[in-house]
Structure 1
């Protein structure tokens, strides 16, 4: 639970120096929570740091959004993770890790083309990073598999309609033929 961080989470300093001191404390705890795999605490602590810095003009830190994006991916809060990666990239378009998180989030949301575009952008910034071509490859594979699934569903639906049609005509009572004259 998060009560062990309640002291810093509930603190509301008013002057800039106190806010910045609290930000440092909160960031350290967020890192600690993350390394202990306590993602709910890490999310709250990064959120607190972000809120504190939002109240100070020009102090926003791209890294905090990138880190919270990673935490949110771990918590499977994929849309929120995507928002954080976008916010990070607004602050710093060359933030390589944020392109990676963005591509991962888009991949999980089945937005393959956007995932590929984000991964390629990351690859441009960091050509030696193997993670980006791997993400592109995965997105292309998933996209192809999805197209295959959709085609199969369509075929199955058509087959089902044909079977239904055949079944309904088979159930129709046989047409009685009138006996011709002279037949027994």
Structure 2
């Protein structure tokens, strides 16, 4: 899985004013097409950046007009609620969105190209293979996004290591909240955002590894490192492991295997990561690797009933595989 797919691309219809991308929402992945319908005259004004607090309003659209937030209508109330869940902001009312927090992937991506006073229209279509939308539901829908004002922000390279670390912790916490609420897609997106940022802190940690023994006593609180080398590895391992769990839930075992493997490399004592690696390998029929991972779990926790049960599943699958192989070989020589 690539929960944070959001690269902008040219509209296939050839409309230069429209851009499209893939966004992560609670019910799966959605293709979003954005078109400016009202542009600000402030030519020199910058766009919202990381940390910008934006005053925005998002409204659903019908064929004739915007749908007021508090009057969805009895016959379309269920559809209204579903669309509100996708957009993840209060509909029809002015609200605030902080850029970089990952509250709503759709709205944040729209705001990246807007200025104060701008208004755009978006078309959202669920990706069939990655959506929990039922076949008989209202699939695509339109909405408008208005940006009234926003506070100054920063580009990612302008953030201090402390600011980046705050974003990492925020995304990690948001991921846990989303996972517990059943929003597995959103949780995966949050963990992915955290990983993208924590990778940029590696230079600070690498420097810390060589300097912390020499200068730890000389550092003031404001100059102290945001993470030690050990803390960095542990947190990055947790993020990879958590993302692996999301990918297992979303039936994406190859991605889950890769992230769980990275987690075990960073923190070999992580029992959960080893178990998730075993599950992923079992799902892709890498039985020897699955067996090794589950045995590692038992080394770390000898009374793990889950690992014991998983090893029995591996043994059963090995027998089935050997039986099928023997059957195919017998056909070759008969």
- Please report the TM-score for the alignment, with normalisation by the length of structure 1: 0.77
The number of residues matched between the two structures is 159
- CA RMSD between the two structures: 2.2
CA distance in 2, matches of 1:95, 1:139: 21
* Larger strand percent: 2
- 1:21 aligned to which of 166, 171, 174: 166
Q: Please say which structure displays the higher CA radius of gyration.
A: 1
Greater than 6 Å deviation, 4+ residue runs: none
Using the TM superposition, give the Cα deviation of residue 65 of structure 1 relative to its aligned residue in structure 2, in angstroms. Answer: 0.9
Q: What is the Cα deviation at residue 129 of structure 1?
A: 1.1
Alignment of 1:22-41 (within 5 A): 22-41=167-186
Q: Select between 101-110 and 9-18 the one with higher mean Cα deviation.
A: 9-18
Any idea what SS the aligned residue of 2:257 has?
helix
User: Is it true that 1:110 corresponds to 2:255 in the alignment?
Assistant: no
TM-aligned CA deviation for residue 136 of structure 1: 1.0
For residues 51-92 of structure 1, give each alpha carbon's deviation from its aligned partner in whole angstroms, at most 9, with x where no partner exists.
111111233421111111100111111111111111111111
Residues 3-14 of structure 1: matches in 2 within 5 Å?
4=88, 7=99, 8-9=101-102, 12=156, 14=159
Equivalences for residues 120-139 of structure 1 within 5 A = 120-139=295-314
How far residue 98 of structure 1 moved from its aligned partner, in angstroms, is 0.7
Q: For 1:24-173, what aligned pairs fall within 5 Å after superposition? A: 24-57=169-202, 58=205, 59-60=232-233, 61=235, 62-155=237-330
Q: Which runs of 5+ in 2 are unaligned?
A: 1-23, 26-86, 90-96, 103-107, 109-154, 206-231
- Tell me the distance in 1 between the aligned counterparts of 2:265 and 2:291: 19
Alignment partners' CA distance in 2, 1:37 and 1:156: 48
Deviation at residue 123 of structure 1 after TM alignment: 0.5
TM-score computed with the length of structure 2 as normaliser: 0.44
Q: Which residue of 1 aligns with 2:40?
A: none
Distance 1:29 1:4 in 2: 13
- Does 1 or 2 have the higher relative contact order (CA < 8 Å, sep 6+)? 2
As a proportion of its length, which structure holds more helix? 1
Partners of 1:99 and 1:24 in 2: how far apart? Answer: 23
Question: Which range moved further: 19-28 or 76-85?
Answer: 19-28
